[in-house]
C-alpha cells in the first residue's frame, strides 16, 4: 500500500541482504531527508557508556545500587566499566565525526558533577566541558540530556522521585550545568523518557530503584514533570541561545479485534504510554482516562504545578521503537496479545515503522501547540558478531530505512520534524538486559573495548556523504 513505510523503502534501493554498499540509500528527490537542515545524528547516555563509576569524585547512582542486587540485571552486569567512554571519549568523538554524523545526543551524569550538598565537582564538570568543546570543534550539533535515569543515590535515600524536593534539587542541578556549559550546548533536554523513570522505576520495579506500586508511579511522574517545568526557565535564563525541550518515549497500541472492549483497551494503552506525559506538557492536565486504568492513584498536585509543567517548549524529543497489540483484560485495562509471524528484534519487539508515522500525525491533530519534533531515539537490538573484521547488521539497515521513510511520510503530512538520532552510536549497557542486547551501529568488544564500525554505520555515512555532495 502507498502509505506503508516498509513498502516505500523497498522501492528506494536494492535489497541489503548481502550487506553491499555499492548502491547508497537514495530517497526520492522530494524527500525531507535531503534537506540540508534536517539533522541526522546518533545518541548515547552517560550510565550506558561512561564507566568510571568510582573515579574523580563521582557519587553512586540508583543504577549502581540496583545493578549490584543479584537478579536485577541480566548476567549480573553493571555499568561500572561499560564502554569506558570516560577514558576513551576523544577517540569516540573522532569516530563519530569520521562517520559524518551531524548531531550527537549525550547525557550528563548528575552524580558526576555535584556532591550531596550541591557543591560542584570540578573534575566531573571538566570532563563534559572537554567533550562538548571537542564536539563543537568537529562541527557537531550537541543535544544534552540532563537526566537519563542515573539519579544520585543520596536523593533516592530521601525518597527519590516520590519526594517533591527532588524536583527542586533537579532545578539546582540544571542551574549549575547551564551556567557551566552555556555556549557549548545547542539543545537541552531536561528528562529522557519520564514514562520509564516513573513506571519502570516506581510502578513495576523493572528498573532502578525497583519499586512497584501504581500510586508511586503517578506521583513520581508528577515530580519528574515538575522538575522539568522548574528547570526550563533556569535553562532559558542561563543559556538563552540554546533550545529547551524534553524527550518522551511513545508507544503505538493496536486492538486485537474490532470489539468495543479491545478498541477501548488500545486507547487506554496509548493514554498510559503517551497522553500521561504529553497531556500535562501540552494541555496542562492529566488525562482522566489514566485513572480508569489505575483508580485512586491521582498524584498530589499543588496550585501552580500544571502551569509550571506546561510552559512552552522549543522542541519535543520523541523516542520510538515498536508497537504493542492489546486486548481488554476483562476489567478496566489491557493485556498484551503478541502477534504471530511478524518481524521482531533481539529485544522481542515488533518492527512496525508505520506506528511512528501514525503517532506523529495523530499528535499533530491532538495537540494544536505541538512544538517542533526531533526523533531523539530510534533503532534496534540484534545479536551482532564480528566476522573477519566486519559486522553485517543487515536487519538494522532495513529497520533504519523503513523508519526514516515513516518520518518522511509524517513530514509530508504536515508534522514539523527537524532531525533524527539513531540509537545508538555504539553497543552499551542496556539497563536490565546488561550487555547482551546490542543497539549500536558500532560494535563494542567489552573485553578489549575495541570498536568495530558495523555495516549500518557505513551505510549511514555513505548517505550523509552523498547528501553533502548534493547540497
The answer to whether 349 is a known ligand-binding residue is no
The answer to whether 48 is a known ligand-binding residue is yes
The DSSP output letter for 298 is P
Whether 193 is catalytic: yes
The C-alpha atoms of residue 259 and residue 256 are separated, in whole angstroms, by 8
Q: What is the pLDDT of residue 223?
A: 99
Average pLDDT over residues 300-314: 98
Q: Looking at 102, 156, 377, 392, which residue is catalytic?
A: 377
Percent of the chain scoring above 90 in pLDDT: 92
Mean pLDDT of the chain: 94
Average pLDDT over residues 440-448: 98
Interval 360-405: pLDDT, tens: 999 999 999 999 999 999 999 999 999 999 999 999 999 999 999 9
Query: Given a cut of 60, is residue 11 above it in pLDDT?
Result: no
Interval 100-111: pLDDT, tens: 999 999 999 999
* Residue-by-residue DSSP string for 198-241: IIIIIIS-SSTT----HHHHHHHHHHHHHHHHHHHHHHHHH-TT
Average pLDDT over residues 412-429: 98
Q: What is the pLDDT of residue 8?
A: 42
Q: What is the pLDDT of residue 36?
A: 87
The answer to whether 204 is a known ligand-binding residue is no
Band (5; pLDDT cuts 50, 70, 90): low
Interval 34-75: pLDDT, tens: 888 999 999 999 999 999 999 999 999 999 999 999 999 999
Band (15; pLDDT cuts 50, 70, 90): very low
Q: Looking at 156, 193, 270, 350, which residue is catalytic?
A: 193
Task: Decide: 299 and 219 in contact? Cβ < 8 Å.
Answer: yes
The answer to whether 89 is a known ligand-binding residue is no
Interval 122-158: pLDDT, tens: 999 999 999 999 999 999 999 999 999 999 999 999 9
The C-alpha atoms of residue 418 and residue 420 are separated, in whole angstroms, by 7
Average pLDDT over residues 225-230: 99
The answer to whether 423 is a known ligand-binding residue is yes
The C-alpha atoms of residue 117 and residue 81 are separated, in whole angstroms, by 26
Going from the N-terminus, what domains does the chain have, and what CATH number goes with each?
5-470 (3.20.20.80)
Q: What is the pLDDT of residue 4?
A: 66
Local structure of 334: helix, strand or coil: strand
Task: Decide: 62 and 153 in contact? Cβ < 8 Å.
Answer: yes
The answer for residues whose C-beta is within 8 angstroms of residue 50's C-beta and 6 or more apart is 79, 82, 83, 85, 86, 109, 112
- This prediction has a pTM of 0.95
The DSSP output letter for 272 is I
Query: Given a cut of 80, is residue 20 above it in pLDDT?
Result: no
Query: Given a cut of 70, is residue 197 above it in pLDDT?
Result: yes
Q: What is the pLDDT of residue 3?
A: 53
The answer to whether 149 is a known ligand-binding residue is no
Average pLDDT over residues 352-358: 98
Query: Given a cut of 70, is residue 25 above it in pLDDT?
Result: no
Q: What is the pLDDT of residue 6?
A: 52
Average pLDDT over residues 439-446: 98
Q: What is the pLDDT of residue 338?
A: 97
The answer to whether 192 is a known ligand-binding residue is yes
Average pLDDT over residues 402-410: 96
Interval 159-187: pLDDT, tens: 999 999 999 999 999 999 999 999 999 99
Average pLDDT over residues 273-300: 97
Q: What is the pLDDT of residue 21?
A: 43
Amino acid at each position: 500500500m502507498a502509505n506503508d513505510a516498509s513498502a516505500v523503502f523497498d522501492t528506494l534501493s536494492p535489497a541489503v541482504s548481502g550487506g553491499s554498499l555499492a548502491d547508497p540509500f537514495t530517497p526520492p528527490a522530494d524527500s525531507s531527508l535531503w534537506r540540508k537542515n534536517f539533522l541526522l545524528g546518533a545518541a548515547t547516555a552517560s550510565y550506558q557508556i561512561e564507566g568510571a563509576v568510582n573515579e574523580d569524585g563521582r557519587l553512586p547512582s540508583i543504577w549502581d545500587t540496583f545493578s549490584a542486587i543479584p537478579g536485577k540485571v541480566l548476567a549480573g552486569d553493571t555499568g561500572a566499566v561499560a564502554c569506558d567512554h570516560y577514558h576513551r571519549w576523544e577517540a569516540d568523538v573522532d569516530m563519530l565525526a569520521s562517520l559524518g554524523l551531524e548531531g550527537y545526543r549525550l547525557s550528563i551524569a548528575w552524580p558526576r558533577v555535584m556532591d550531596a550538598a550541591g557543591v560542584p565537582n570540578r573534575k566531573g564538570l571538566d570532563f563534559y566541558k572537554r567533550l562538548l568543546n571537542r564536539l563543537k570543534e568537529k562541527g557537531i550539533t550537541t543535544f544534552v540530556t540532563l537526566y537519563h535515569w542515573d539519579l544520585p543515590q543520596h536523593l533516592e535515600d530521601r525518597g527519590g522521585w516520590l519526594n517533591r524536593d527532588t524536583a527542586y534539587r533537579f532545578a539546582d542541578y540544571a542551574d549549575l550545568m547551564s551556567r557551566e556549559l552555556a555556549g557549548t550546548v545547542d539543545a537541552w533536554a531536561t528528562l529522557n523518557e519520564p514514562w520509564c523513570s516513573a513506571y519502570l522505576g516506581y510502578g513495576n520495579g523493572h528498573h532502578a530503584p525497583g519499586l512497584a506500586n501504581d500510586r508511586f508511579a503517578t506521583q513520581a511522574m508528577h515530580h519528574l514533570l515538575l522538575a522539568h517545568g522548574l528547570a526550563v526557565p533556569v535553562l532559558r535564563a542561563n543559556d538563552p541561545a540554546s533550545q529547551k525541550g524534553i524527550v518522551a518515549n511513545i508507544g503505538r497500541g493496536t486492538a486485537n479485534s474490532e470489539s468495543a472492549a479491545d478498541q477501548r483497551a488500545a486507547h487506554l494503552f496509548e493514554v498510559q504510554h503517551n497522553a500521561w506525559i504529553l497531556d500535562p506538557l501540552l494541555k496542562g492536565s492529566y488525562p482522566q482516562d489514566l485513572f480508569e486504568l489505575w483508580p485512586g492513584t491521582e498524584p498530589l498536585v499543588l496550585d501552580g504545578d500544571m502551569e509550571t509543567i506546561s510552559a512552552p517548549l522549543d522542541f519535543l524529543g520523541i523516542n520510538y521503537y515498536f508497537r504493542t497489540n492489546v486486548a481488554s483484560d476483562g476489567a478496566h485495562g489491557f493485556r498484551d496479545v503478541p502477534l504471530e509471524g511478524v518481524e521482531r528484534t533481539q529485544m522481542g519487539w515488533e518492527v512496525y515503522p508505520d506506528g511512528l508515522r501514525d503517532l506523529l500525525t495523530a499528535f499533530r491533530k491532538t495537540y494544536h501547540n505541538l512544538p517542533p519534533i526531533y526523533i531523539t531515539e530510534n533503532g534496534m537490538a540484534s545479536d551482532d558478531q564480528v566476522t573477519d573484521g566486519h559486522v553485517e547488521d543487515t536487519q538494522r539497515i532495513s529497520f533504519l530505512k523503513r523508519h526514516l521513510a515513516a518520518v518522511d511520510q509524517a513530514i509530508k503530512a504536515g508534522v514539523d520534524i527537524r532531525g533524527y538520532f539513531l540509537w545508538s552510536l555504539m553497543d552499551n549497557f542496556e539497563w536490565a538486559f546488561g550487555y547482551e542486547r546490542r543497539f549500536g551501529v558500532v560494535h563494542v568488544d567489552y573485553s578489549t573495548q575495541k570498536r568495530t564500525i558495523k555495516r549500518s554505520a557505513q551505510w549511514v555515512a555513505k548517505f550523509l556523504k552523498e547528501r553533502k555532495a548534493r547540497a
